Protein backbone atom coordinates (compact mmCIF):
# COMPACT_ATOMS: atom_id res chain seq x y z
CA UNK A 1 0.00 0.00 0.00
CA UNK A 2 1.39 3.39 -0.94
CA UNK A 3 0.83 5.90 1.81
CA UNK A 4 -0.30 9.32 0.72
CA UNK A 5 0.16 11.58 3.68
CA UNK A 6 0.85 15.25 4.15
CA UNK A 7 3.33 16.68 6.61
CA UNK A 8 2.87 15.34 10.11
CA UNK A 9 1.83 18.05 12.63
CA UNK A 10 2.12 16.02 15.85
CA UNK A 11 2.49 12.48 17.15
CA UNK A 12 0.77 10.23 19.62
CA UNK A 13 2.89 7.75 21.57
CA UNK A 14 1.20 4.36 21.81
CA UNK A 15 3.44 2.01 23.80
CA UNK A 16 6.54 1.62 21.58
CA UNK A 17 4.89 3.01 18.45
CA UNK A 18 4.62 6.65 17.52
CA UNK A 19 1.39 7.33 15.59
CA UNK A 20 1.33 10.24 13.14
CA UNK A 21 -1.16 13.08 13.50
CA UNK A 22 -2.10 15.21 10.51
CA UNK A 23 -4.22 18.25 9.80
CA UNK A 24 -7.51 16.70 8.65
CA UNK A 25 -7.94 18.97 5.65
CA UNK A 26 -4.40 18.27 4.38
CA UNK A 27 -4.83 14.54 5.12
CA UNK A 28 -7.97 14.37 2.97
CA UNK A 29 -6.42 16.50 0.22
CA UNK A 30 -3.43 14.10 0.00
CA UNK A 31 -5.60 11.19 -1.16
CA UNK A 32 -9.01 11.65 -2.78
CA UNK A 33 -9.84 8.01 -1.94
CA UNK A 34 -10.18 9.08 1.70
CA UNK A 35 -12.87 11.58 0.80
CA UNK A 36 -14.88 9.50 -1.64
CA UNK A 37 -14.65 6.26 0.33
CA UNK A 38 -17.41 4.79 2.42
CA UNK A 39 -16.46 4.87 6.09
CA UNK A 40 -17.56 2.85 9.07
CA UNK A 41 -18.04 4.98 12.16
CA UNK A 42 -17.38 3.17 15.42
CA UNK A 43 -18.72 5.99 17.59
CA UNK A 44 -17.41 8.96 19.49
CA UNK A 45 -16.22 9.25 23.05
CA UNK A 46 -14.35 11.37 25.55
CA UNK A 47 -10.57 11.15 25.18
CA UNK A 48 -7.99 11.10 27.98
CA UNK A 49 -6.25 14.46 28.43
CA UNK A 50 -2.92 13.43 26.84
CA UNK A 51 -4.62 12.13 23.69
CA UNK A 52 -6.86 15.20 23.47
CA UNK A 53 -3.78 17.43 23.77
CA UNK A 54 -2.02 15.61 20.90
CA UNK A 55 -5.11 16.17 18.73
CA UNK A 56 -5.23 19.84 19.84
CA UNK A 57 -8.74 19.41 21.25
CA UNK A 58 -10.22 21.82 23.71
CA UNK A 59 -13.56 21.82 25.47
CA UNK A 60 -15.29 18.45 25.59
CA UNK A 61 -12.32 16.62 23.95
CA UNK A 62 -14.50 14.17 22.03
CA UNK A 63 -13.22 12.15 19.10
CA UNK A 64 -14.63 9.70 16.58
CA UNK A 65 -13.17 6.36 15.52
CA UNK A 66 -13.61 5.51 11.82
CA UNK A 67 -12.35 2.98 9.31
CA UNK A 68 -11.88 4.26 5.74
CA UNK A 69 -12.79 1.36 3.43
CA UNK A 70 -10.83 2.33 0.30
CA UNK A 71 -7.55 3.06 2.09
CA UNK A 72 -7.82 0.62 4.99
CA UNK A 73 -6.97 3.32 7.51
CA UNK A 74 -8.36 3.13 11.03
CA UNK A 75 -8.36 6.76 12.14
CA UNK A 76 -9.10 8.78 15.23
CA UNK A 77 -10.80 12.03 14.23
CA UNK A 78 -10.12 14.91 16.60
CA UNK A 79 -13.63 16.22 17.06
CA UNK A 80 -17.08 14.94 16.23
CA UNK A 81 -18.84 15.59 12.91
CA UNK A 82 -21.92 17.80 13.05
CA UNK A 83 -24.47 18.66 10.38
CA UNK A 84 -23.37 21.70 8.44
CA UNK A 85 -23.45 23.22 4.98
CA UNK A 86 -20.95 22.32 2.28
CA UNK A 87 -20.41 24.28 -0.95
CA UNK A 88 -19.44 22.60 -4.21
CA UNK A 89 -18.60 24.26 -7.47
CA UNK A 90 -20.83 22.60 -10.11
CA UNK A 91 -19.58 21.79 -13.59
CA UNK A 92 -19.89 24.71 -16.03
CA UNK A 93 -22.98 23.41 -17.84
CA UNK A 94 -24.69 22.52 -14.55
CA UNK A 95 -23.94 25.97 -13.16
CA UNK A 96 -25.32 27.64 -16.27
CA UNK A 97 -28.50 25.54 -16.20
CA UNK A 98 -29.06 25.91 -12.48
CA UNK A 99 -28.41 29.61 -12.52
CA UNK A 100 -30.50 30.49 -15.56
CA UNK A 101 -33.52 28.20 -15.66
CA UNK A 102 -36.43 29.46 -13.56
CA UNK A 103 -37.50 27.06 -10.84
CA UNK A 104 -41.10 26.98 -12.10
CA UNK A 105 -39.96 25.20 -15.30
CA UNK A 106 -37.48 22.77 -13.71
CA UNK A 107 -34.53 24.90 -12.60
CA UNK A 108 -33.24 24.70 -9.08
CA UNK A 109 -33.83 27.66 -6.81
CA UNK A 110 -32.88 26.09 -3.49
CA UNK A 111 -29.27 25.18 -2.83
CA UNK A 112 -27.83 27.24 -5.70
CA UNK A 113 -26.01 30.47 -5.02
CA UNK A 114 -24.60 32.98 -7.49
CA UNK A 115 -22.29 35.75 -6.26
CA UNK A 116 -21.88 39.23 -7.79
CA UNK A 117 -19.17 38.00 -10.19
CA UNK A 118 -21.54 35.33 -11.60
CA UNK A 119 -19.73 32.46 -9.87
CA UNK A 120 -22.21 29.66 -9.06
CA UNK A 121 -21.94 27.12 -6.28
CA UNK A 122 -24.26 24.46 -4.95
CA UNK A 123 -24.95 24.21 -1.24
CA UNK A 124 -25.99 21.04 0.54
CA UNK A 125 -26.11 19.65 4.05
CA UNK A 126 -23.44 17.20 5.14
CA UNK A 127 -21.49 16.14 8.19
CA UNK A 128 -18.59 18.52 8.73
CA UNK A 129 -15.71 18.58 11.16
CA UNK A 130 -14.73 21.62 13.22
CA UNK A 131 -12.14 23.88 11.53
CA UNK A 132 -8.55 22.91 12.34
CA UNK A 133 -9.44 19.29 13.11
CA UNK A 134 -6.67 16.74 13.26
CA UNK A 135 -6.59 13.02 12.51
CA UNK A 136 -4.40 10.26 13.96
CA UNK A 137 -3.84 7.20 11.82
CA UNK A 138 -4.06 4.32 14.29
CA UNK A 139 -3.61 1.35 11.96
CA UNK A 140 -3.88 0.02 8.43
CA UNK A 141 -6.31 -2.87 8.16
CA UNK A 142 -7.14 -3.99 4.64
CA UNK A 143 -10.36 -5.91 5.19
CA UNK A 144 -13.59 -5.02 6.96
CA UNK A 145 -13.99 -8.34 8.77
CA UNK A 146 -10.54 -7.84 10.33
CA UNK A 147 -11.50 -4.36 11.55
CA UNK A 148 -14.66 -5.73 13.12
CA UNK A 149 -12.68 -8.58 14.69
CA UNK A 150 -10.17 -6.10 16.08
CA UNK A 151 -12.89 -3.86 17.53
CA UNK A 152 -15.24 -6.62 18.73
CA UNK A 153 -16.69 -5.31 22.01
CA UNK A 154 -15.79 -1.68 21.35
CA UNK A 155 -19.45 -0.65 21.51
CA UNK A 156 -19.49 -1.76 25.17
CA UNK A 157 -16.12 -0.27 26.08
CA UNK A 158 -15.72 3.05 24.31
CA UNK A 159 -17.75 5.17 26.71
CA UNK A 160 -16.20 3.63 29.82
CA UNK A 161 -13.34 5.43 31.63
CA UNK A 162 -11.10 2.56 30.48
CA UNK A 163 -12.18 2.86 26.82
CA UNK A 164 -8.91 4.33 25.55
CA UNK A 165 -6.85 1.71 27.42
CA UNK A 166 -9.05 -1.02 25.89
CA UNK A 167 -8.43 0.36 22.40
CA UNK A 168 -4.67 0.62 22.99
CA UNK A 169 -4.62 -3.00 24.18
CA UNK A 170 -6.48 -4.15 21.06
CA UNK A 171 -4.17 -2.16 18.79
CA UNK A 172 -1.12 -3.68 20.52
CA UNK A 173 -2.42 -7.07 19.38
CA UNK A 174 -1.81 -5.96 15.80
CA UNK A 175 1.92 -5.97 16.44
CA UNK A 176 1.80 -9.15 18.55
CA UNK A 177 -0.11 -11.17 15.96
CA UNK A 178 2.25 -10.19 13.16
CA UNK A 179 1.66 -9.14 9.56
CA UNK A 180 -0.30 -12.26 8.58
CA UNK A 181 -3.32 -11.32 10.66
CA UNK A 182 -3.54 -7.54 10.25
CA UNK A 183 -1.49 -5.02 8.36
CA UNK A 184 0.18 -2.89 11.01
CA UNK A 185 -0.05 0.00 13.34
CA UNK A 186 0.36 3.28 11.50
Block means of pLDDT (10 residues each) for the chain, length 186 residues? 75 85 93 92 89 83 92 90 66 50 47 66 68 90 91 91 90 69 50
Is residue 1 domain-resident? Answer: no
Give the pLDDT score at 147: 93
Whether residue 154 contacts residue 148, with contact meaning beta carbons closer than 8 Å, is answered with: no
Whether residue 65 contacts residue 41, with contact meaning beta carbons closer than 8 Å, is answered with: yes
- 60 with 121, same domain: the answer is no
- CA 52/CA 19 separation, integer angstroms: 14
Give the pLDDT score at 106: 45
Give the angle subtended at the CA of 140 by the CAs of 185 and 26, to the nearest 5°: 100
Give the pLDDT score at 104: 46
Counting the structural domains of the chain, the total is 2
Give the pLDDT score at 70: 95
Is residue 3 domain-resident? Answer: no
Give the pLDDT score at 22: 95
- 103 with 142, same domain: the answer is no
Amino acid sequence: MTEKSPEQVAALQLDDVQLPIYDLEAFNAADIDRVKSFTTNFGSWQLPAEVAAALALAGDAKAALEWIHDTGELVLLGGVPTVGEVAVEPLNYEAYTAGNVPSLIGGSAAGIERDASGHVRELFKSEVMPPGSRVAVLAHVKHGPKVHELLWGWHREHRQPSGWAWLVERLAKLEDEGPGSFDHLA
